[in-house]
Amino acid sequence: MARTPEEFRTKQQIDVRVLHEVVGIDPKAGRVRVVDLSANREWWEPYDHLLIATGAVPLRPKVPGADAAGIYGVHTLESGIRLRKILDESRPARAVIVGGGYIGLEMAEAFLLRGMQVSLVEKAPQVMGTLDEDMAVHIAQALTDRGVTLHLNEGLEAFEVRDGRVRAVITSQRSLETDIVLLGMGVVPNTDLAREAHIPLGERGAVRVDRRMATQVEGVWAAGDCAESFHRLTGRPIHVALGTVANRHGRVAGMNMAGGEASFSGVLGTAVTRICSLEIARTGLQTRELEALGRSFVSRTIESHTRAGYFPGSGRIHVKLLADSDTGAVLGAQIVGEEGAAKRIDVMAAAITAGLTAQEVSELDLGYAPPFSPLWDPLIIAARLLAKDAP
Amino acid sequence: MARTPEEFRTKQQIDVRVLHEVVGIDPKAGRVRVVDLSANREWWEPYDHLLIATGAVPLRPKVPGADAAGIYGVHTLESGIRLRKILDESRPARAVIVGGGYIGLEMAEAFLLRGMQVSLVEKAPQVMGTLDEDMAVHIAQALTDRGVTLHLNEGLEAFEVRDGRVRAVITSQRSLETDIVLLGMGVVPNTDLAREAHIPLGERGAVRVDRRMATQVEGVWAAGDCAESFHRLTGRPIHVALGTVANRHGRVAGMNMAGGEASFSGVLGTAVTRICSLEIARTGLQTRELEALGRSFVSRTIESHTRAGYFPGSGRIHVKLLADSDTGAVLGAQIVGEEGAAKRIDVMAAAITAGLTAQEVSELDLGYAPPFSPLWDPLIIAARLLAKDAP
């Protein structure tokens, strides 16, 4: 967190100034320690209700050279603005991205659009670990097709630094010369303040909360990337650092803090993203999660089209559905495809939330017209096949 | 129906030839009367199972001049191919469309794309009667913006004919000079054969069927635009002439006729279409239907964006949701908006099928990323408002 006043201007010409910082919580006395960054003054500020909304911090690699100049992350509006300024001014030709998740892939697109040469290093055997490996291969293929050099199964070992500036990324396999490095290694809940105040933490170090977003300490609430969620399908705590979830957290916490009554309805793990023209979406539980839970399940993967095959702009779409072997209830869905693919995931989010079976999904009366879908929507095709394996 | 052999070639270079026609059914003897159109020969052909799949025929106006040249419909592949050939060869400058439903509006787009001057006559006070009037106004506005001259509340009274060819469309209000006329007045089930064979008809003259697609006569089945469906929400018979429904009918009938067991799951009235860049979608019951059923309901209409407001290509979207006043169960949804709007209807088709309430829809974990949605999907915004009025 900032230790000096910070100022920056957003694209929308909004001046942002960080003037105060909370450096400690005293829940027993119901007060927080506030620092006035411009006046170098500190005091205790009392509260009736306290909301911890400290967000998350990006994971930084603990390898030699990690503090060198030229290594960037994008986790705040400000860090994005800074990076864009650097790209505009110094026009680097080469970028290495460390991490093949949402941020890594979205930044790969941004770099490609600027005509940069992009390499991506990922220690796992696949990009986008929130999808199953057989679906992630389509993403990898699309990245390669668009000019990204992928290095999977390669751990980051060090950064080569010259004159204080990163010159190369050293992986377990090779050395990649580069002008800049972008870190997309994920985030961890920013819960130092909570931990120091003995407010109990839970999943992955996020602040433990109930469905009202109340922590286990009277009068203290938490919301956003620093707080736990729970999974709608498993009921178990889960940490999801996404804007939609944070926003829903905040709404529930705010209503309860203001004397109302609201309950967080949980997350299904729905996420969508786009890399160039490739759309990626997922919801529910993936194979790895179902296996970890010891659930008995079946899955089917199909390839179809986003529109009627003869319609201009019709593109490929891959759909994977997973269902409970015993009940047939759909448990998860993954989609990778061209324009029009991703938001189809919302149908499955509704279906999974409602407990629909694969057979029931296959019988849904979905909209058809040539600009929008083949006669049988890809979801129907996948569900119909899946229903053959599940009751 | 054709009384002489017909031949034409589709765009995909498939030669189509109509060689035989069934002119009568004798269900008691289990046989049909077949005519060989090329040999002028007739005979009785026995059957074990008979499928009536005679489709629908377009409504033709019973007004003076209706048989003139230059008046077209598009209800078969062949009629579409013929009309396109005429447009290519004679390049008419002006078209009047009679009827403001799906066919009328889609043909308006086709004519506009050819640079033609388009007028549309509709006797109802709104276009697209399958949507509520407050949603249809957005469609009317978009049509007007794109150059279509709309004449609502105007009944067709006659065609002015010169030398056997249509020259003008006479409405209750005016005379519209034109080069061609396109009829989009809807269809009626083509059930002459069934009626003559005393096979019971039902809703709007469609062949009465049970959920197995069996007619009330042993060994005779019906599917497609000539057959009844039933509505998932009301359980009542309904006639829906749509490709998706026809295809599902055929699948169920075929499985049962082949000795399997299949049951039609009904229709929700989902339909999507596009006119230029405007997308239109609906599912469930609209205000008129709910009122006719005497249902107590509430509704909310919102305006939002298809993508994050700042994202390139973000467009307007209007969403209307209707729910049961007592249970809160969502009963209907209507969407009019720019690119990305229409297929959102599928989420509501799933939600309505599953019996989700407005509150439950407002809590769905839908996908968010700036290229696909504002942080709160328009469906969530509408459902949240609706939930305030319904339990």
Of the candidates B178, B285, B165, B298, the residue with the CA atom closest to the CA atom of residue B236: B285
- Which among B13, B273, B343 is the top mutation candidate for probing chain A, defined by the most A β-carbons within 10 Å of its own β-carbon? B343
Contact call for B343 and A342, based on CB within 8 A: no
State which amino acid sits at residue A322: L
At residue B12, does pLDDT exceed 60?
no
Residue where the block lists tokens 């829903």 = A248
Banded pLDDT at A12 (limits 50, 70, 90): low
State which amino acid sits at residue A189: P
Q: How far apart are CA B135 and CA B282, in angstroms?
A: 10
Q: Check residue A69 and report its DSSP letter.
A: B
At residue A299, does pLDDT exceed 70?
yes
* Residue B16 confidence (pLDDT): 61
Please list every residue in chain A whose beta carbon sits closer than 8 Å to the beta carbon of residue B265. Answer: 363
Contact call for B365 and A270, based on CB within 8 A: yes
**Residue B31 in contact with residue B44, Cβ under 8 Å?**
yes
Residue where the block lists tokens 């490095």 = A181
State which amino acid sits at residue A379: L
Model confidence pLDDT, tens digit, residues A40-97: 899 999 999 999 999 999 999 999 999 999 999 998 888 999 999 999 999 999 999 9
**Residue A188 in contact with residue A203, Cβ under 8 Å?**
no
* Residue B294 confidence (pLDDT): 97
Nearest CB to A375 within list B244, B266, B363: B244
- Which among A74, A343, A376 is the top mutation candidate for probing chain B, defined by the most B β-carbons within 10 Å of its own β-carbon? A343
Q: How far apart are CA A387 and CA A383, in angstroms?
A: 6
Phi-psi region of B205 (alpha: psi -120 to 50; beta: other; left: phi over 0): left
Of the candidates A229, A263, A390, A247, the residue with the CA atom closest to the CA atom of residue A324: A390
**Residue A140 in contact with residue A104, Cβ under 8 Å?**
no
Banded pLDDT at A1 (limits 50, 70, 90): very low
- Residues A85-115 as b/e (b if ≥16 CB within 10 A, e otherwise) read eebeeeebeebbbbbbbbbbbbbbbbbbeee
Please list every residue in chain B whose beta carbon sits closer than 8 Å to the beta carbon of residue A347. Answer: 346-347, 349-350
**Residue A151 in contact with residue A71, Cβ under 8 Å?**
no
Residues whose CB falls within 8 Å of the CB of residue A353, separated by 6 or more in sequence, listed in order: A232, A268, B356, B360, B364, B365
Please list every residue in chain B whose beta carbon sits closer than 8 Å to the beta carbon of residue A81. Answer: none
Measured between CA atoms, the residue of chain A closest to residue B106 is: A369
Reading the block at residue A188, the tokens are 């961890």
Banded pLDDT at B38 (limits 50, 70, 90): confident
Measured between CA atoms, the residue of chain A closest to residue B335 is: A367
At residue A7, does pLDDT exceed 60?
no
* Residue A6 confidence (pLDDT): 55
CB atoms within 10 A of CB B114: 15
Please list every residue in chain A whose beta carbon sits closer than 8 Å to the beta carbon of residue B350. Answer: 347, 350-351, 354, 356, 361, 364
**Residue A337 in contact with residue A307, Cβ under 8 Å?**
no
Reading the block at residue A63, the tokens are 């390898």
Banded pLDDT at B3 (limits 50, 70, 90): very low
Whether A15 contacts chain B with CB within 8 A: no
The alpha helices in chain A, defined as continuous H runs, are 77-90, 102-113, 133-145, 192-196, 243-257, 287-292, 345-354, 358-362, 378-389
Q: Tell me which residues of chain B, numbers 120 to 159, contact chain A at a CB-CB cutoff of 8 Å.
A: none
Q: How far apart are CA A110 and CA B232, in angstroms?
A: 46
Measured between CA atoms, the residue of chain A closest to residue B276 is: A371
Q: Tell me which residues of chain B, numbers 97 to 116, contact chain A at a CB-CB cutoff of 8 Å.
A: none
Nearest CB to B265 within list A349, A351, A363: A363
Calculate mean pLDDT across residues A13-31. 84
Reading the block at residue A165, the tokens are 């500036």
Comparing B79 with B391, the larger pLDDT belongs to B79
* Residue B383 confidence (pLDDT): 98
Of the candidates B76, B74, B72, the residue with the CA atom closest to the CA atom of residue B92: B72
Nearest CB to A346 within list B265, B271, B347: B347
Beta-carbon pairs below 8 A across chains A and B: 144
Tell me the pLDDT of chain A averaged across its residues: 94
Whether B274 contacts chain A with CB within 8 A: yes
Least confident of A176-185, A324-333, B15-24, B147-156: B15-24
At residue A276, does pLDDT exceed 90?
no
At residue B10, does pLDDT exceed 80?
no
DSSP B229-244: EEBTTT--EE----HH
**Residue B34 in contact with residue B22, Cβ under 8 Å?**
yes
Measured between CA atoms, the residue of chain B closest to residue A273 is: B369
* Residue B2 confidence (pLDDT): 38
At residue B9, does pLDDT exceed 90?
no
Backbone dihedral angles phi then psi of residue A160, each to the nearest 5 degrees: -85, 130
Whether B270 contacts chain A with CB within 8 A: yes
Reading the block at residue A211, the tokens are 């469905």
**C-alpha distance from residue B165 to each of B15, B69, B181 (Å):** 30, 5, 11
Please list every residue in chain B whose beta carbon sits closer than 8 Å to the beta carbon of residue A344. Answer: 343, 346
Q: How far is CA A140 from the centre of its chain?
A: 18
Helix (H, G, I), strand (E, B) or coil at A205: helix
**Residue A319 in contact with residue A381, Cβ under 8 Å?**
yes
Contact call for B367 and A270, based on CB within 8 A: yes
Give rounded-to-5 percent helix, strand, coil for chain A.
25, 30, 40
Banded pLDDT at A38 (limits 50, 70, 90): confident
Of the candidates B160, B183, B162, B182, the residue with the CA atom closest to the CA atom of residue B170: B160
- Which among A357, A365, A388 is the top mutation candidate for probing chain B, defined by the most B β-carbons within 10 Å of its own β-carbon? A365
Please list every residue in chain A whose beta carbon sits closer than 8 Å to the beta carbon of residue B377. Answer: 346
Of the candidates A227, A224, A225, the residue with the CA atom closest to the CA atom of residue A199: A227
Calculate mean pLDDT across residues A159-175. 97
- Which among B346, B353, B376 is the top mutation candidate for probing chain A, defined by the most A β-carbons within 10 Å of its own β-carbon? B346
Backbone dihedral angles phi then psi of residue B180, each to the nearest 5 degrees: -140, 160
**Residue B26 in contact with residue B217, Cβ under 8 Å?**
no
Whether A311 contacts chain B with CB within 8 A: no
**Residue A83 in contact with residue A91, Cβ under 8 Å?**
no
Nearest CB to A273 within list B243, B361, B369: B369
* Residue B189 confidence (pLDDT): 97
Q: How far apart are CA A276 and CA A147, in angstroms?
A: 11
* Residue B102 confidence (pLDDT): 92
Q: How far apart are CA A316 and CA A251, in angstroms?
A: 38
Model confidence pLDDT, tens digit, residues B337-371: 999 999 999 999 999 999 999 999 999 999 999 99
* Residue A3 confidence (pLDDT): 45
Calculate mean pLDDT across residues A190-200. 97
Domains and CATH numbers, chain A: 5-56+189-258 (3.50.50.60), 58-187 (3.50.50.60), 271-387 (3.50.50.60)
Calculate mean pLDDT across residues B174-178. 98
Model confidence pLDDT, tens digit, residues A229-270: 999 999 999 999 998 999 999 999 999 999 999 999 999 999
Please list every residue in chain B whose beta carbon sits closer than 8 Å to the beta carbon of residue A355. Answer: 354
Reading the block at residue A145, the tokens are 């097709």
Query: From the CA of B171, how many Å to the nearest CA of chain A?
Result: 31
**Residue A227 in contact with residue A189, Cβ under 8 Å?**
yes
Helix (H, G, I), strand (E, B) or coil at B42: strand
Residues whose CB falls within 8 Å of the CB of residue A298, separated by 6 or more in sequence, listed in order: A322, A323, A325, A386, A389, A390
* Cα angle B240, B241, B245; round to 5: 75
Whether B351 contacts chain A with CB within 8 A: yes
Measured between CA atoms, the residue of chain B closest to residue A373 is: B343
Taken as a whole, chain B contains a residue count of: 391
**Residue A136 in contact with residue A126, Cβ under 8 Å?**
yes
Contact call for A355 and B353, based on CB within 8 A: no
Backbone dihedral angles phi then psi of residue B89, each to the nearest 5 degrees: -85, -45
Contact call for B369 and A274, based on CB within 8 A: yes
Banded pLDDT at B1 (limits 50, 70, 90): very low
Banded pLDDT at A39 (limits 50, 70, 90): confident
* Residue A10 confidence (pLDDT): 55
Contact call for A267 and B354, based on CB within 8 A: no
Nearest CB to B343 within list A279, A353, A367: A367
Q: Tell me which residues of chain B, numbers 276 to 305, contact chain A at a CB-CB cutoff of 8 Å.
A: 279, 281, 283
* Residue B6 confidence (pLDDT): 55
* Residue A8 confidence (pLDDT): 55
* Cα angle B244, B245, B247; round to 5: 65
Model confidence pLDDT, tens digit, residues A132-145: 999 999 999 999 99
Percent of residues, chain B, with pLDDT higher than 70: 96
Whether A185 contacts chain B with CB within 8 A: no
At residue B391, does pLDDT exceed 80?
no
* Residue B77 confidence (pLDDT): 86
Q: How far apart are CA A143 and CA A134, in angstroms?
A: 15
Contact call for B347 and A350, based on CB within 8 A: yes
Compute the Cα dihedral for B71, B76, B81, B82 and give only its sign. Answer: negative
